[in-house]
């Protein structure tokens, strides 16, 4: 595991004495929340322990998809796609936003049945998703061998360049009046009469009335330190990009053994869904029962191991406001990619997508994904501490949903009704009997 620590304790810019809202975390959820708060005229400070989009928000696949979503988060994703269209016009920067569709390939009857079942389950949302014939799939891929039984395709789905988009949204938030502080870790919250009164950063206190915790994998230890439980674990996912290669078409493609996204640089982002490594840490034992269904379902794809994180930052359970926090110990988490998995994924990609036959891997990386037991986000207020809100557990599909999530969080913090019902994603479900349900049970 490679980590990046701040070379200097000095913040990137002066610390404001007060704000209406402090957002913790400079990933897509945090910067989108700050953007929409600032657009509504709310005084907001975003604190990022390292750099904006330094971790998973710049390391993801870059898909902006409705297709394949859990029905509980699909309404939020539909609105988020509208937000992406708006942001592409408003941020005044090239973020690589392209509407090219998403296509899930069906190599087996089981794949085909799964895709058809999802399509039937979301009929009420009136998406433009449809099943493609084997001939249509061959035409998209430039094949003639009828290798695929069909595919699920959503033409209105899109993609963007994560390393460009998230920092661009943060800069747009700053132009609207938000204060974005990098190298500024929030150690804990400050309370008066039980409710939020401020945050304590490594550089001092910021008074505020509301806090939005959008810390990704760091949300769980932050909450544990203030006496709250969050069943969320960190899973490592590995990705690579290729040298320039002939273009198939504008669509991104998902296959069981390899998924690809066209990049602005002419290459492809290549990865495999579910090919993850899970490091055993103390929280794994605390929340083991909640995660048992996920582990049972995905055990063939997930590697389990005891690693350094057991004893390192993610395993740390408590610290005082005058002590160094885990967030200062690891400014930017840069885990080593799983090279054996990526070698296998690249071989599969060359087989599935003929245009990649001569493409070479030119960069590999890994990121840490914040995963909940039911694999959907936790959004909204935490009733135990009035003024504290959470936006975490995006479970590997947060990039696309991020702007819509930020818009909804801004509404919540301002005390307004959200544009859609988000009760299925509430934090409180983790404490309710039967509140954690798989997609099949929902």
pLDDT of residue 437: 80
Using the predicted structure, report yes or no on whether residue 299 has a pLDDT greater than 80.
no
Cα–Cα distance between 177 and 388 in angstroms, integer? 22
For residues 442 and 350, which has the higher predicted lDDT (pLDDT)? 350
pLDDT digits (tens, 9 = 90+) for 360-388: 999 999 999 998 989 999 999 999 999 99
Return the CATH architecture of domain 2-101+156-431.
Answer: 3-Layer(bba) Sandwich (3.50)
- Segment 259-272, tens digit of pLDDT: 999 999 999 999 99
Q: Is the pLDDT of residue 194 over 70?
A: yes
In whole angstroms, give the CA distance from residue 240 to residue 253: 15
Q: 34 vs 145, 221, 276, 372, 425, CA distance in Å? A: 50, 22, 30, 24, 20
DSSP at 417: P
CB-CB contact of 21 with 44 (8 Å): yes
3-state secondary structure of 411: helix
Domain boundaries, the chain: 2-101+156-431
Is 3 within 8 Å of 333 (Cβ atoms)? yes
Tens of pLDDT along 62-111? 999 999 999 999 999 999 999 999 999 999 999 999 999 999 999 999 99
Is the model's pLDDT at 2 over the cut of 50?
Answer: no
CA angle 149, 64, 368 (to 5 degrees): 100
Residue 156 pLDDT greater than 60, yes or no:
yes
Report residue 5's pLDDT band, with 50, 70 and 90 as the boundaries. very low
Task: Kindly report, residue by residue over 390-414, the tens digit of the pLDDT.
Answer: 999 999 999 999 999 999 999 999 9
Render pLDDT for 17-43 as a digit per residue (tens, 0 to 9): 999 999 999 999 999 999 999 999 999
Q: C-alpha distances in angstroms, 103 versus 108, 145, 251, 382? A: 15, 18, 7, 37
- In angstroms, the CA 203 to CA 221 distance is 20
- How confident is the model over 35-61, as a mean pLDDT? 97
Q: Which two tokens stand for residue 334?
A: 């840069």
Give the residue with greater pLDDT, 337 vs 313: 337
* Residue 3, pLDDT score: 45
């Amino acid at each position: 595991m490679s980590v990046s620590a701040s070379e200097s304790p000095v913040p990137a810019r002066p610390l404001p004495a007060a704000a209406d809202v402090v957002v913790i975390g400079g990933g897509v959820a945090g910067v989108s929340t700050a953007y929409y708060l600032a657009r509504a005229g709310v005084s907001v400070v975003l604190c990022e322990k390292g750099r904006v989009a330094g971790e998973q928000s710049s390391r993801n696949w870059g898909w902006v998809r409705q297709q394949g979503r859990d029905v509980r988060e699909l309404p939020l994703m539909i609105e988020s796609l509208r937000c992406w269209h708006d942001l592409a016009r408003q941020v005044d920067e090239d973020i690589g936003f392209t509407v090219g569709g998403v296509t899930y390939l069906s190599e087996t009857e089981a794949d085909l049945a799964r895709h058809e079942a999802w399509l039937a389950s979301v009929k009420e949302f009136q998406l433009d998703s449809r099943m493609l014939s084997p001939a249509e799939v061959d035409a998209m891929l430039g094949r003639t061998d009828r290798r695929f039984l069909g595919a699920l395709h959503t033409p209105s789905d899109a993609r963007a360049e994560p390393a460009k988009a998230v920092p661009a949204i943060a800069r747009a938030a700053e132009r609207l009046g938000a204060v974005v502080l990098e190298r500024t870790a929030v150690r804990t919250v400050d309370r008066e009469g039980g409710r939020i009164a401020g945050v304590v950063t490594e550089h001092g206190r910021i008074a505020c009335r509301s806090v939005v915790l959008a810390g990704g994998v760091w949300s769980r230890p932050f909450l544990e330190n203030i006496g709250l439980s969050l069943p969320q674990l960190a899973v490592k996912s590995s990705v690579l990009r290729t040298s320039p290669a002939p273009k198939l078409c504008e669509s991104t493609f998902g296959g069981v053994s390899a998924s690809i996204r066209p990049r602005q640089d002419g290459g492809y982002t290549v990865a495999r869904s579910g090919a993850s490594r899970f490091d055993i840490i103390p929280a794994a034992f605390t929340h083991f029962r909640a995660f048992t269904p996920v582990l049972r379902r995905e055990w063939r794809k997930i590697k389990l191991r005891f690693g350094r994180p057991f004893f390192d930052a993610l395993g740390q359970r408590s610290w005082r406001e005058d002590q160094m926090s885990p967030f200062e110990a690891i400014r930017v988490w840069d885990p080593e990619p799983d090279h054996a998995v990526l070698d296998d994924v690249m071989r599969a990609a060359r087989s599935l997508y003929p245009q990649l036959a001569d493409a070479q891997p030119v960069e590999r990386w890994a990121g840490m994904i914040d995963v909940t037991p039911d694999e959907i986000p936790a959004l909204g207020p935490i009733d135990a501490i009035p003024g504290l809100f959470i936006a975490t557990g995006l479970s590997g599909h947060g990039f696309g949903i991020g702007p819509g999530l930020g818009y909804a969080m801004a509404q919540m913090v301002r005390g307004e009704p959200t544009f859609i019902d988000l009760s299925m994603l509430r934090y409180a479900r983790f404490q309710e009997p039967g509140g954690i349900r798989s997609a099949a049970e929902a």
